[in-house]
Amino acid sequence: MSAAATILWKDLLSEWRSRATATTTVVFALLILLVFNFSLDLEGEHLSAVGPGLLWIALLLPAMFGLGRGIAEEYDRGTLEGTMLTPIDSASLFVGTVAGNLVLALAVQVPLVVVFAILFPLPVVQPAFLPVLVLGSLGLALLTTLVATMTSVARVRELLLPVLVLPLALPILIASVAATDQILRPGQTPPIPWVGVLAAFDGIFGVAALWGFDRLLED
Amino acid sequence: MADSSYALEAHGLGKAFGGRFVLQDLDLRLPWGSSLVVFGANGAGKTTLQRVCATLVRPTRGEVRIAGWEPRGNTADIRRAIGVVAHQSYLYAELTASENLAYYGRLYRVAGLEQRIALLLATLGLLHRRHDPVRLLSRGQQQRLALARALLHGPRLLLLDEPDSGLDEPGFAILRRLLADHRAAGGSALVTSNVIERGLQLGDQAACIQSGHLTPMGATSSLDAAAVAEALEESTGRMAPRGGLRGVKPS
């Protein structure tokens, strides 16, 4: 088993035992969806126009807080230091952590998309949405892992995390919303350009994060 | 393995945090097969010395060679050569004792990992708790498991920061025996302690650290707890903390 796979195994097993992040993230996202559902009386064209944005806000906010929590806890408990004391390279640590966050994000988001489709009658449960969900979630996992590592030493990290993640997540949010909008409108072509934007963001940000992660871990 | 007759070498070592030097002009030579116990009051620089030797913090000035390597560019080799016990156990609360060791063992690529885990758990008296999550283990049992984690990959240099913390007498006897075996096999250990009686049993050489300066005290076989306490008092200019330096009898 590679170092990244070992870290992924540890993260998923820890989360499976505690279910702390998954539970709070699901509850947070459900509350957002319910608040939108009760406060906005959306039908027809209005729903089609606003729906993709609502969906991605409901997916983004809980993911941002939930995915950042793991690395902050590792820092507090000293386990991040324990892993850093092993002879693995920082890239393996980053890839394993991002993979764990991605799996966790998708495990939470897939049922949330179904709940969204029940509360807001839009055809989001379709194969064309899957690449958008996976690439959007990967971008969020990359971003939150990197920023959570940066802010883990800060006293006000709970405030710093959204302040730093939200502006950086805008390209993901814009591309994901636009791609989802294109999927939901009848007669539209597949959202290949927007999926391309998401893939490009993930690729560029992933490479930059791999390069910078090593420096973040130094004292 | 880099060719060196010393497990640890430091010359003029200094480490500052925010302009304040925690370690200053520190010189240290620890030969292979030897164990140095460093005494010092809280805040004297013991933990910072351990963290510099563990490559967790970079020295501000001076040189350090760990297991024969300079830290820059050799961290992976150094980390394979060292085993660290720190104030935090580095254990995952939700994973079992076995799973924690399996996690670290895979990162170290330990051969015959299952057998190695079973052997260490048996040695440390934890075999019957191997399937229990770490959060259910007592403080002393977690410390034993932290020792198992540090020894898992067979490191040649042990960096032990107050390794007896939380250990009962049987646990301390195991620690003493493991350290003796480690030395006999040619390994070395840098041990920091603020419990004089116990600390003297963990090293063959002693030193005290105060305000970041390291002062050799000689062989532990020639020292008793009162002499160490006296030396510490002289170096600190005040009485050793009553709770921390338990080997000291009230005068």
pLDDT tens, position by position, A88-145? 998 999 999 999 999 999 999 999 999 999 988 888 888 888 999 999 999 999 999 9
Whether A147 shows a pLDDT value over 70: the answer reads yes
Q: How confident is the model at residue A8 (pLDDT cuts 50, 70, 90)?
A: very high
Query: What percentage of chain A reaches a pLDDT higher than 70?
Result: 99
The answer to whether the CB atoms of B58 and A219 lie below 8 A apart is: yes
Nearest CA in chain B to A19: B94
How many Å lie between the alpha carbon of A217 and the closest alpha carbon of chain B? 9
The confidence score (pLDDT) of residue B247 equals 44
Greatest CA separation found in chain A? 57
Residue A90 touches partner B, C-beta closer than 8 Å: no
Whether B246 shows a pLDDT value over 90: the answer reads no
The confidence score (pLDDT) of residue B242 equals 41
Interface of A with B in 61-80 (CB under 8 A): 77-79
Pairwise CA distance, residues A145 & A20, whole Å: 17
**Best CA proximity match to B107, nearest among A10, A86, A78, A75:** A86
Q: How confident is the model at residue B8 (pLDDT cuts 50, 70, 90)?
A: very high
The confidence score (pLDDT) of residue B248 equals 42
Whether B185 shows a pLDDT value over 90: the answer reads yes
**ipTM rounded to 2 decimals:** 0.86
Q: Is the dihedral of CA A154, A158, A161, A162 positive or negative?
A: negative
**Rounded to whole angstroms, what are the CA distances from B29 to A175, B183, B228?**
59, 16, 20
A12: part of which helix (H) or strand (E)? helix A3-18
How many Å lie between the alpha carbon of A135 and the closest alpha carbon of chain B? 29
Whether A154 shows a pLDDT value over 90: the answer reads no
Closest CB to A219 among B56, B91, B93: B56
Instruction: Tell me the H-state helices in A89-191.
Output: 90-119, 129-151, 157-184
Whether B245 shows a pLDDT value over 60: the answer reads no
Q: Give the highest mean pLDDT range of A119-128, A179-188, B85-94, B220-229.
A: B85-94
Question: What residues of B are in the A interface, CB distance below 8 Å?
Answer: 54, 56-58, 75-77, 79-80, 82, 84, 86-95, 99, 103-104, 106-108, 133, 149
Angle between helices A3-18 and B97-108 (to 10 degrees): 160
Q: Are A146 and A212 in contact (CB under 8 A)?
A: yes
The confidence score (pLDDT) of residue B241 equals 45
Residue B211 one-letter amino acid:
S
The answer to whether the CB atoms of B107 and A77 lie below 8 A apart is: no
* Residues of B whose CB is below 8 A from A9: 103
The confidence score (pLDDT) of residue B231 equals 76
Closest CB to A78 among B80, B90, B106: B90
The answer to whether the CB atoms of A81 and B88 lie below 8 A apart is: yes
Pairwise CA distance, residues B80 & B103, whole Å: 15
Pairwise CA distance, residues B65 & B1, whole Å: 13
Closest CB to A85 among B54, B57, B89: B54
The answer to whether the CB atoms of A78 and B104 lie below 8 A apart is: no
Pairwise CA distance, residues B107 & A152, whole Å: 23
The confidence score (pLDDT) of residue B3 equals 62
Topology of domain B6-91+158-236 in CATH is Rossmann fold (3.40.50)
Q: Residue range A60-70: average pLDDT?
A: 83
Number of A to B CB contacts under 8 A, please give it: 69
Query: Which pTM was predicted?
Result: 0.88
Q: How confident is the model at residue B249 (pLDDT cuts 50, 70, 90)?
A: very low
pLDDT per residue over B93-151, tens digit each? Answer: 999 999 999 999 999 999 999 999 999 999 999 999 999 999 999 999 999 999 999 99
The answer to whether the CB atoms of A82 and B149 lie below 8 A apart is: yes
Q: How confident is the model at residue A219 (pLDDT cuts 50, 70, 90)?
A: low
A41: left (phi over 0), alpha (psi -120 to 50) or beta: beta
Q: Residue range A159-169: average pLDDT?
A: 86
Residue A14 touches partner B, C-beta closer than 8 Å: yes
Closest CB to B103 among A10, A18, A84: A10
Nearest CA in chain A to B159: A85
**Mean pLDDT computed over every residue of chain A:** 88
Closest CB to B107 among A18, A81, A83: A83
**Rounded to whole angstroms, what are the CA distances from B112 to A5, B105, B106, B118, B123?**
19, 10, 10, 10, 17
The confidence score (pLDDT) of residue B239 equals 40
pLDDT per residue over B39-83, tens digit each? Answer: 988 888 899 999 999 999 999 999 999 998 998 889 899 999 999
